[in-house]
Amino acid sequence: MFTGIVTDIGTVTELDQQGDLRARIKTRYDTAGIEIGASIASDGVCLTVIALGGDWYDVQISAETVSKTNLNAWKVGKRVNLERALKVGDELGGHIVSGHVDGVAEVVALQDEGDSTRVTLRAPKELARFVAPKGSVALNGTSLTVNDVDGCDFGINFIPHTKEVTTWGDVSVGEQVNLEIDTLARYVARLSEMS
């Protein structure tokens, strides 16, 4: 489990497609404190560490994960949001995030509002019903509050701090981002279907 509070920006330094995709991610985390088998959310995708070095870790990514996320667009040099798994007693500053991406949303508009940036995204139709004003979503692993919803489009505001400590300062129109809907929204919708 994760909170959607990004704690490092890593860089993809190697990609190797042999059956599954293997990626090496450079990090500022103390890799001496990471164990093989640990889960690290990388752009919001829960990935398992399979190898470690002084300032990097490797993950193996299944074809299923690649097909459901934006990891198919990863290139060497790409910066990615990172978060280590939640430990008992950690502050829950965002919301409960599983790292199981539901789909990919597209950035359709950017607009500066004061020092913040309003980003409008378009969710896949089958996921749009789970996105609600003032509800939570995780986008590329970042816990965010939805400002407004118009059909499949929804708006998020990024303050300067968030743009500085995540990859959201680099966002551009047309970019595909990993979308994880709020777990509570998923269960509420399922319960209402059963009534």
Q: Which of 10-19, 29-38, 92-101, 175-184 has the lowest mean pLDDT?
A: 92-101
Residue type, 60: Q
pLDDT at residue 195 in the model: 65
Beta-bridged to residue 179, according to DSSP, are 103, 139
Higher pLDDT, 137 or 191: 137
Number of domains in the chain: 2
Which residues on neighbouring strands pair with residue 59, listed in sequence order?
23, 49
Decide which of 92 and 32 is more confident: 32
Taking residues 113-121, what's their average pLDDT? 96
Distances (CA, A) of 192 to 4, 113, 185: 27, 37, 11
* Residue 190 pLDDT exceeds 70: no
Q: In CATH, what number is assigned to the domain containing residue 163?
A: 2.40.30.20
pLDDT of residue 123: 98
How many angstroms separate the CA atoms of 130 and 126, rounded?
9
- Give the span between the Cα atoms of 127 and 155, in whole angstroms: 15
Percent of the chain's residues with pLDDT above 70: 92
Q: How does the average pLDDT of the chain come out, rounded? A: 93
| CA–CA separation, 8 and 136 (whole Å) | 21
Where on the phi/psi map is residue 115: left (φ > 0), alpha (ψ -120 to 50), or beta? alpha
Alpha carbons 8 and 84: distance in angstroms, whole number:
9
CB 50 within 8 A of CB 42: no
Phi, psi of 91 (to 5 degrees): -70, 135
- Residue 97 is predicted with a pLDDT of 85
Task: Tell whether 110 and 79 lie within a shared domain.
Answer: no
Does residue 154 contact residue 146 with C-beta atoms inside 8 Å? Answer: yes
Over residues 52-63, mean pLDDT: 96
Q: Cα Rg for the chain, rounded, in angstroms?
A: 16
Domain boundary, last residue among 57, 84, 111: 84
Which domain does 174 fall in, by range?
103-194
Residue 23, in any domain of the structure: yes
Q: Are residues 112 and 190 in the same domain?
A: yes
Does residue 92 fall inside a structural domain? Answer: no
**Residue 96 confidence (pLDDT):** 80
pLDDT at position 60 over 80 = yes
pLDDT of residue 187: 67
pLDDT digits (tens, 9 = 90+) for 15-33: 999 889 999 999 999 999 9
pLDDT, position 183:
76
